[in-house]
Amino acid sequence: MEIHVQELPPIGTNAITLIDTAQKSAWVIDAPQRAYSWVSDLASKHDCTIEGLILTHGHWDHIIDAHAFATAGIPIYGHADDRPLLDAPSRMASYAVPGLDLNPVTVTHWLEDGQSLEILGSPMEVRHVPGHCPGNILIYAPALEAAFVGDVIFAGSVGRYDLPGGDFSLLERSIQSQVYTLPETTTLYPGHGPTTSVAAEKAGNPFVRPN
């Protein structure tokens, strides 16, 4: 399985594609602007089918292209605690770049903390990590030694907790109990910026220290 990361507009949000060229299948994590055309190009280049889109959370910059996946009949996964944002992304309009079309997102599969998924034949675990927003989830892929974390933690930083639904003490608890408990060698793929690792953030993240 290959992991492709692409930073996309309008504010530099990472879309991630997991692709297995032998199985001819691909999965997508998050849908910033132009994500669908990026993934479609990648998938058709490898003759792969897009099997699903997982939204790490409901913030506008991660879901703006989700309607294109829905139109293509691709199943969409997310956490119900962000349903108000997914049903009415215009709630976030005052935090978004002006002039964007913010379409509602119909999630076809609601994910819960502790749920197991099988993606491209590989077991993955859903962990609920609220604090940046109520419904942020991370997807832990043990076989890849990787976790796709949305905006809960970044290299040397953490997600904003001053937006509606944000809460620092909850964010801190999520990171300590759900991120820092992953194996130290786990690579973290955040929703913005470069990858990092559990070891690096436990050693040096200035915002949340291991407890």
Binding residues vs Zn ion (CB under 5 A): 59, 151
Q: Name the minimum Å distance from CB 48 to Zn ion.
A: 28
Residues across the chain: 211
Comparison of 96 and 120: residue with beta carbon closer to Zn ion: 96
Which residue has the CB atom at the shortest distance from Zn ion?
59
Least distance to Zn ion from the beta carbon of 59, Å? Answer: 3
Report the nearest approach of Zn ion to the CB of residue 163 (Å): 7
CB 166 to Zn ion: min, Å: 9
Q: Which is nearer to Zn ion, 51 or 151 (CB)?
A: 151
Nearer to Zn ion, 52 or 130 (CB): 130
**Which residue lies nearer to Zn ion by CB, 120 or 191?**
191
Strand partners, 7: 14
| Separation CA 51–CA 75 (nearest Å) | 7
Write down the least CB distance from residue 16 to Zn ion, Å. Answer: 15
3 vs 18, 80, 134, 198, 200, CA distance in Å? Answer: 5, 26, 27, 18, 20
**CB closer to Zn ion out of 59 and 127:** 59
